[in-house]
Amino acid sequence: MNQAVSNTSPNASPQTIYLKDYLPPAFLVKKVELDFRLEPQNTVVTSRLYLSRNPVYPDPQAPLELKGQELKLLSIKLDDQPLGEEGYAIQADTLKLAGVPDNFVLETQVEINPENNTALEGLYLSSGNFCTQCEAEGFRRITWYPDRPDVLAPFTTRIEADKTQFPVLLSNGNPTEKGDLDQGRHYVTWEDPFPKPSYLFALVAGDLHAVKDTFNTASGRQVALEIWVEKENLHKCDHALASLKNAMRWDEATYGREYDLDIYMIVAVNDFNMGAMENKGLNIFNSACVLADPKSETDAAFHRVESVVAHEYFHNWSGNRVTCRDWFQLSLKEGFTVFRDQQFSADQHSPAVERIQNVGLLRTAQFAEDASPTAHPVRPDSYIEINNFYTLTVYEKGSEIVRMLSELLGWDAFRKGSDLYFERFDGQAVTVEDFVQCMAEVSGLNLDQFLLWYSQAGTPRVTAKGDYNAAEKTWTLTLKQETPPTPGQADKQPLLIPIKMGLVGPGGQPLPLEVDGQHLGVETVLHLKEAEQSWTFHHLEDEPLPSLLRGFSAPVKLDYDYSRQDLAFLLQQDPDGFNRWDAGQRLALQALQELVAAQQEGRDLVLDAELIASWQKLLEGEPEDPQMLAELLQLPSEAYIAEQYDQVDIDAIHTARDYARKTLATALYPDLLRLYKAFNQQKPWSADAKEAAARRLKNTCLSLLVVTDTDEALQLAEKQFQHADNMTDQQAALTCLVHAQEANQGEAALAQFARQWAHDPLVMDTWFSIQVTRPHPDALQRVQALLEHPAFSMKNPNKIRAVLGAFAGQNRHNFHRRDGAGYQLLADAVIQLNSLNPQIASRLVLPLTRFQKLDDYRKDKMKEQLERIHKQDLSPDLYEMVTKALSA
Ligand code: B3K
Ligand code: ZN
């Protein structure tokens, strides 16, 4: 009997892992048998691993090495022979067995404490139910194992627990046996025939209830679908279930991918570090990404549920059937799966609006990451803590890379490449090269240069210039590309960048494109490969207006010297929906930057008349596409405005945007009011896309109307708040009241809302966020007060995101208060979370690592807080982020 508890504590000197050091595993696992005796404080896990030497491993004498964390080892047996302490060695998180046979069975028994597990990694309790999170390296907190994605094995899992407390016992695969035991206990055995890496293991046990349905696959198999939730949430499952069925059908039709097991389960838990997890046959979801009811969830939440359900489902092929060789390849599954879920959403809704929203996130948050001390390639070269690399770069930029491949190849060839990839690598753990190679093979394209997108960090800047030759009737486009240096990568190579484009004539008509005698239709994809390259378009009677980077065909910053008139014209006329919106954003940015400059130079603020006139035009008559109009009526966020500068003037940006919104709202008041009334149909809620679009436009108008502070507008908001039959309208109205200058009605509405929704933790998250994002100067005090609120908990990631995440991310000028109190507040929370939940701490610290563009005063204040965090005994997660930031 051995009582050793494997390495746990934060932090024995953190080790850096390098991609270049990759070696295949020394041992393979042919089969895993797990047995869980579940108890909140002392669960006993017995594991039998059927091991064999990997013939391709270079050293045929290599010892077996297993990973483990926070495990109390009770016993260890090799081929059923107990091993004494001399038979193995445990150092930090590694258990080593030397001189083992080529084939053997290793049995270990360990004790773990799920109740104490506040990191929410491994096996833990959420609202009294057992659940697991194993990606990336959580399985080692459950049992000793070669916990790496290139070790795949079939799992058999027997779960035993108290029957009254834990009537439902779930794991991956199909249930094969169940029965009652003595002392009120019971058990269920699950078998997963598909070999999988340990990160896809899952277990759930608790007092849960299911909404059930079935799905018939294209080949005629019937799959049982089950969504498991706490009883009070049973009425919130319909939308997730419908989304799942849509996603299953879509993947069959679009990618020819069918589901493989007989059962597909989703479980909702309240305490979860991220959105959801694609465990084989048993997805575990943050309740915020699965529960949806119109009374308590907004249209945006419905959309999120649909897309996350689809994303996790799509992983069954892109991630589970074909997985990653090592964690450096994370984007192989995440980038591809994000691309697939974006395609799915585009097919369910408006493709242009979907694209606008995805690009909005990429351009504000991913571009900022790419310009920060934590910038990294889509496939990083090294890491200390892999959980730090579940980033916008790996996910969103990774998805853009796959999208570019689909643009370069065209859909038919791309689909062939995807088929080849799934067929060739089914059941294997592979690399980014394997994926790109399939795309090269089916298309005949040379994608060697393209691979640089995976290894080169930073956002490329493409500068475009047009030159019209009236005598020759030609127009020459010259594109230059440059990628700025990022930490550890000073020199950058030119990339292969697909630039989708068209030319617009004076009447808005698309012009035929002719280059080198080739007729390219009215839209083409230019392949920019060199640092500088030109194309000459022929037979152009008048100087054309270029519409470049349509649909945002590459994740780059594109500069072209458009005049305000050009932008106003493109905003109305560009045949590409995305580029219409983008022209509007460029026009607004010019106006906002002018307001920032005016403040810095002590001039009066005057909003560009071209912008006001353009918006006026958008509002004329009956809107053709209300959802698109709602997008066009959004000014660039403060974060995106900040992206345009090398040195950011926080307060001037806030004032500029605020002033622009007020001026626009005042100038356009009658039209906004007319539209609000036209779209505020007093009909009962419906999920219909048209109705959702009407709600979005109406609420966009309302939020503009209330910034004018008229009694009329505030009364409209108050009325909507009191009479709304759905959360979209209720929340929009509440936000208007709380964010308005006059706060009186806001306080009463908040109190009423809290009374109405105190029982629903997801709605209370909204209640928190609305308050901490108030633009008022007392926002910070509000945050401090809410941290003490009984509904707030530092142990619940959703609450941390709702209060601290929303404040730091969406209330920029208050977070960046000059006295540094915002930074201090965040640092206090980070320090507290360092020991409670390292993953969440490491996310929360991010805003404190973004000081590069701040003024020196704020920069110092921020660094002071980082230094303070650095002095703590840090988890590897925080250690990596904070040291990177401080050494930038
Ligand atoms: N694969 C998971 C994310 C796991 C995060 C681990 N820190 C969810 C997803 O991307 O689908
Ligand atoms: Zn994913």
- SS3 assignment, position 206: strand
What per-residue confidence (pLDDT) applies to 381?
A: 98
Distance 319 CA to ligand 2 centre (A): 8
With a 6 A CB cut-off, is 657 part of the ligand 1 pocket?
no
Mean of pLDDT values over 844-863: 98
Q: Where are the alpha helices (DSSP H) in 724-801?
A: 727-739, 744-757, 761-772, 779-787, 797-800
Look up residue 454 and give its two tokens: 């995976």
Distance 277 CA to ligand 2 centre (A): 7
Tell me the pLDDT of the chain averaged across its residues.
Answer: 97
**Residue matched to tokens 């108890």:** 39
Query: Can you tell me which atom of ligand 1 is nearest the CA of 387?
Result: 7
Query: Is 70 exceeded by the pLDDT of residue 601?
Result: yes
**Residue matched to tokens 């279930």:** 241
* Whole-number percent of the chain with pLDDT over 90: 97
Q: How confident is the model at residue 429 (pLDDT cuts 50, 70, 90)?
A: very high
Active site residue 532: no
- pLDDT, tens digit, for every residue of 1-32? 344 555 544 445 799 999 999 999 999 999 99
- pLDDT, tens digit, for every residue of 829-838? 999 999 999 9
**Residue 736 and residue 770: Cα distance in Å, rounded?**
9
- pLDDT, tens digit, for every residue of 735-762? 999 999 765 789 999 999 999 999 999 9
Q: Are 289 and 249 in contact (CB under 8 A)?
A: no
With a 6 A CB cut-off, is 274 part of the ligand 1 pocket?
yes
Look up residue 733 and give its two tokens: 């109205």
144: amino acid identity, one letter: W
* Closest residue by Cα to residue 830 from 804, 796, 859, 802: 804
pTM: 0.98
- pLDDT, tens digit, for every residue of 633-690? 999 999 999 999 999 999 999 999 999 999 999 999 999 999 999 999 888 999 999 9
Q: How confident is the model at residue 628 (pLDDT cuts 50, 70, 90)?
A: very high
What per-residue confidence (pLDDT) applies to 682?
A: 80
DSSP codes of every residue in 435-497? HHHHHHHHH----TTTTHHHH--S--EEEEEEEEETTTTEEEEEEEEE---BTTB---PPP-E
Selecting among 312, 407, 631, 638, the annotated active-site residue is: 312
**Residue 679 and residue 86: Cα distance in Å, rounded?**
77
Look up residue 516 and give its two tokens: 């080198």
256 — alpha (psi -120 to 50), left (phi > 0) or beta?
Answer: left
**Residue 784 and residue 848: Cα distance in Å, rounded?**
18
**Residue matched to tokens 């945050």:** 783
What per-residue confidence (pLDDT) applies to 741?
A: 79
Mean of pLDDT values over 768-791: 97
Bridge partners of residue 213, in order along the sequence:
225
With a 6 A CB cut-off, is 390 part of the ligand 1 pocket?
yes
Which residue has a Cα nearest atom 1 of ligand 1? 277
* Cα-Cα-Cα-Cα dihedral sign, residues 483, 487, 491, 494: negative
**Residue 657 and residue 395: Cα distance in Å, rounded?**
30
With a 6 A CB cut-off, is 285 part of the ligand 1 pocket?
no
**Residue matched to tokens 């991310």:** 809
Q: Are 580 and 632 in contact (CB under 8 A)?
A: yes
Look up residue 778 and give its two tokens: 């007392």
The long-range contacts involving 680-685, CB below 8 angstroms and separated by at least 24 positions, are 680/720, 684/725, 685/294, 685/725, 685/726
- pLDDT, tens digit, for every residue of 271-304? 999 999 999 999 999 999 999 999 999 999 999 9
Local structure of residue 389 (DSSP, 8 states): G
Local structure of residue 322 (DSSP, 8 states): B
Query: Can you tell me which atom of ligand 1 is nearest the CA of 312?
Result: 11
Count the Cβ atoms, other than its own, within 10 Å of residue 618. 19
Mean of pLDDT values over 549-564: 98
What per-residue confidence (pLDDT) applies to 743?
A: 57
With a 6 A CB cut-off, is 277 part of the ligand 1 pocket?
yes
* Closest residue by Cα to residue 158 from 145, 144, 172, 137: 172
* Closest residue by Cα to residue 492 from 500, 483, 501: 483
* Cα-Cα-Cα-Cα dihedral sign, residues 562, 566, 569, 573: negative
Which residue has a Cα nearest atom 4 of ligand 1? 135
Count the Cβ atoms, other than its own, within 10 Å of residue 850. 20
**Residue matched to tokens 């995106």:** 640
Overall size of the chain counted in residues: 888
- pLDDT, tens digit, for every residue of 105-129? 999 999 999 999 999 999 999 999 9
Q: Are 354 and 345 in contact (CB under 8 A)?
A: yes
